[in-house]
Structure 1
Amino acid sequence: MRLSIRNRLTALYGGLFLLAGLALLVINYALVNSSLPDAAGFVATQPFSTSVPYPAGATGADAPAGAGPALARPPHAIRAATEIVVSDYRSTTLSTLLVGSAIALLVAAALAVFFGWVMASRTLRPLHTITSTARKLEAGRLDRRINLDGPGDELKELADTFDGMLDRLGESFDSQKRFVANASHELRTPLAVQRTLIEVALADPEAGPELRKLGEHLLLTNERSERMIEGLLVLARSDRGLACRSPVRLDEVVATVVETTAAQATEAGVTVETRLPARTVAGDPVLLERLVTNLVANALTYNFHGGWVHVEIGGDPALTVRNSGPVVPADAAAAIFEPFRRLDGERTGDSRNAGLGLSIVRSVAAAHDGEATARPGARGGLIVDVRLPPHGDSTRS
């Protein structure tokens, strides 16, 4: 069984107090023992008169038969009686001291454990704050700080160091996101120019077959690059979080996306079925539409001719997209959310996609205080669940 630091500190406090109490008890016992008179020594140092009479009328055990006032006690009897009394007094005193000290030590040890528990809890409270803050941090959510109040001790220094580290990490991530967004934006113009030049060249009636073949290949490559740049822009935007939120009817967004992708579904020979009860979430309608579009497009692209796609809105998860298709290894399902990550086999066969679709899904879900998870279907394909907080339950603005 693993003990927490608080339990260990409590045990340490209680154990140290118990050892100190035992040492105090031994010292006290030794001092009292040395201060009490020894029976034999005490009797040896006392003068006893040989003319001490028995009390008048003493009978039985108090005096021998026929004893009277004229009879005196023998000195050896007086010494023996005194030695017994002193010995009993010494034994009784030491026993009382041991019992009383043991009871007091147990009570004090119990109080020491209790107060040790309280002290350990108060001492470790800043560490719990640091741990709680660290658990809530993500690459896209570095805005939380500990801001620990209190004396300038080691824990305050640790919390301030942690906050300073978060400041530096936040600046680094923001700089990286700005670079991606700016670079993606700057690349869109030359790609558009290239596409225009290629289309003009293909429109030339004197263009030969080889030139047309090369032009079509360049157009496909250019189109894929444009989709990748557009995906990077959306990814950078969603990673920066949401500036504002508004109520969004998720069922209406899904219905619009399904209608928009109907031609793609017909071309792929895939049947799309939906179950769309009313559901309102708080977020950005443009980003949510991109999330749903990427999920549906991914389910249509990596599917069989004659396959199916089920899109369902629920409570938790808010959105579930299931599709038939090739078997997805269980250990590789979570990896498909990484940028530019594709699985082996047929899921890598379509070179038109940049590998950012599900990365954008995860990023948009995280920006809405939700999450996206994936798992393999029982008979192949993929099941993607998206959890989104309902309108009014969002924790970040």
Structure 2
Amino acid sequence: MARRWTLRRQLTLLYAGPFLVSGALLLLVPLLGARETVPVPGQGQGPSPQAPDTVTAGNHLLGLSAVALAVMVLVSIVLGWVIAGRFLRPLRLIIDTARDISATNLHRRLGPTGRRDEFAELAGTLDDLFGRLEAAFAAQRRFVANASHELRTPLTAQRTLLQVALSDPDASSDGLRAAGREVLALGEAQARLIDSLLTLATGEQGIERPAPFDLAAVARRALDARSDAARARGITVTASLSPAPVPGDESLAESLVANLIDNAVKHNVDGGRVDVATDGSTLTIINTGPVVPHAELDRLFQPFQRLGAQRVRATGDGYGLGLAIVRAIAKAHGAELSATPRREGGLTVTVTFRP
């Protein structure tokens, strides 16, 4: 197996190589001078009595120059090795510390190096990376814990219903049917949760082959599908849908718009209002509802979160995944997502796609 050429070896050769080349070029000067002192035979002049001494002196000078060059090359290699080691010492420290942090404890940081050079920039960049990784892993752990809890809750309820029904020797057919209907309802709740989790995971994967679609048509279909739910609560829905051709994944965009409209209808007040508009490549949804504190806004876009509760339980209001799905799909499209609480209550949400 060939030995790896480390950066220190490469820098050592980089230091010693130019010195060797320049020394060899300088060595040619006495060599050429020695040759010029030797007379050319056949020119009608006899050899000078001093010519042998001149040649001997030139050869001696050439030998001394070659020995000096060899010694200086060795010295330059040693000095290059030492200088390269001192120069790369901060990099080796950064590598060892970063390896230890990634393997054992993401809470640690490289911290300030006391330098003001590229190594300090590298340490700062790695600290930022470790911070993002720590936040991502913490969010993943919370997501897995919440998802497993939400999936376990209906499973436990189903098991309890079936055990009670089977342990009752006098259970009537009506009672068994009622238990069966409750088990089916819990199964449908699980299916909805799994569908939401799959949509969230698909949105986070990104888009491989974007295709053009009309955002206004997507919004129109989502509004038509939810008109009955809005009408049942007396919510007025207005739409101003101008053609909005954008590239992306149309099915994911439908999930984004559907979740925004669902959120606007479910978390509204009876007799409230929902305004949906498309303009160019921008979708805007405005809804009335309870007042949303600015401090709570970012949390609402995290999985299993809802206004007024640290986590969401399996209720008819959903699982708190709607806005998290919206954020994931917007990120997959490279779209700009912004949400602004309204002073009188509710939210103004805009999603601007890349044209």
TM-score by length of 2: 0.51
Match in the other structure for 1:325: 289
Q: In 2, Cα distance between the equivalents of 1:303 and 1:161?
A: 45
Aligned-pair distance for 1:207?
A: 2.7
Match in the other structure for 1:256: 221
Match of 1:373 among 338, 345, 353: 338
User: Where in structure 1 are there 5+ consecutive unaligned residues?
Assistant: 1-153, 391-397
Match in the other structure for 2:306: 342
Aligned-pair distance for 1:330?
A: 2.3
Q: In 1, Cα distance between the equivalents of 2:314 and 2:296?
A: 18
Match of 2:243 among 278, 285, 288: 278
Q: In 1, Cα distance between the equivalents of 2:246 and 2:240?
A: 17
Match of 1:233 among 174, 179, 198: 198
Show the 5 A alignment for 1:1-397.
Answer: 155=118, 206-209=172-175, 211-315=176-280, 318-344=282-308, 351-352=315-316, 353-390=318-355
Aligned-pair distance for 1:338?
A: 0.3
Query: In the alignment, is the contact (CA less than 8 A) between 2:305 and 2:312 conserved in 1?
Result: no
Aligned-pair distance for 1:332?
A: 1.0
Q: In 2, Cα distance between the equivalents of 1:302 and 1:264?
A: 12
Query: How many percent identity over aligned positions?
Result: 40
Q: Alpha carbons of 1:349 and 1:161: their partners in 2 closer, same or farther (altered >3 Å)?
A: closer
Query: In the alignment, is the contact (CA less than 8 A) between 2:273 and 2:287 conserved in 1?
Result: yes
Q: In 2, Cα distance between the equivalents of 1:295 and 1:232?
A: 16
Letter in 1 for 2:340: R
Letter in 2 for 1:329: P
Aligned-pair distance for 1:268?
A: 2.9
Aligned-pair distance for 1:272?
A: 1.3
Q: Alpha carbons of 1:350 and 1:386: their partners in 2 closer, same or farther (altered >3 Å)?
A: farther
Aligned-pair distance for 1:206?
A: 4.9
Aligned-pair distance for 1:223?
A: 2.4
Aligned-pair distance for 1:321?
A: 0.9
Aligned-pair distance for 1:295?
A: 0.5
What SS does the aligned partner of 1:374 have? strand
How large is the RMSD of aligned CA atoms in angstroms? 4.1
Q: Alpha carbons of 1:239 and 1:387: their partners in 2 closer, same or farther (altered >3 Å)?
A: same
Aligned-pair distance for 1:341?
A: 0.6
Query: In the alignment, is the contact (CA less than 8 A) between 2:283 and 2:351 conserved in 1?
Result: yes
Match in the other structure for 1:122: none
Aligned-pair distance for 1:262?
A: 1.7
Query: In the alignment, is the contact (CA less than 8 A) between 1:268 and 1:301 conserved in 2?
Result: no
Q: Map Cα deviations across residues 88-147 of structure 1 (whole Å, 9 max, x no partner).
A: xxxxxxxxxxxxxxxxxxxxxxxxxxxxxxxxxxxxxxxxxxxxxxxxxxxxxxxxxxxx
Letter in 2 for 1:275: S
Q: Map Cα deviations across residues 157-189 of structure 1 (whole Å, 9 max, x no partner).
A: 9869979x98xx7xx98xx89x98xx99xx9xx
Match in the other structure for 1:105: none
Aligned-pair distance for 1:212?
A: 4.9
Q: In 1, Cα distance between the equivalents of 2:174 and 2:218?
A: 45
Q: In 2, Cα distance between the equivalents of 1:156 and 1:249?
A: 49
User: Where in structure 2 are there 5+ consecutive unaligned residues?
Assistant: 1-116, 166-170
Q: Which has the larger radius of gyration?
A: 1
Letter in 2 for 1:207: S
Q: In 2, Cα distance between the equivalents of 1:340 and 1:324?
A: 22
TM-score by length of 1: 0.46
Aligned-pair distance for 1:382?
A: 1.8
Q: In 2, Cα distance between the equivalents of 1:217 and 1:372?
A: 39
Match in the other structure for 1:146: none
Q: Alpha carbons of 1:219 and 1:324: their partners in 2 closer, same or farther (altered >3 Å)?
A: farther
What SS does the aligned partner of 1:208 have? helix
Q: In 2, Cα distance between the equivalents of 1:359 and 1:342?
A: 11
Q: In 2, Cα distance between the equivalents of 1:284 and 1:315?
A: 17
Letter in 2 for 1:257: A
Aligned length: 217
Match in the other structure for 1:7: none
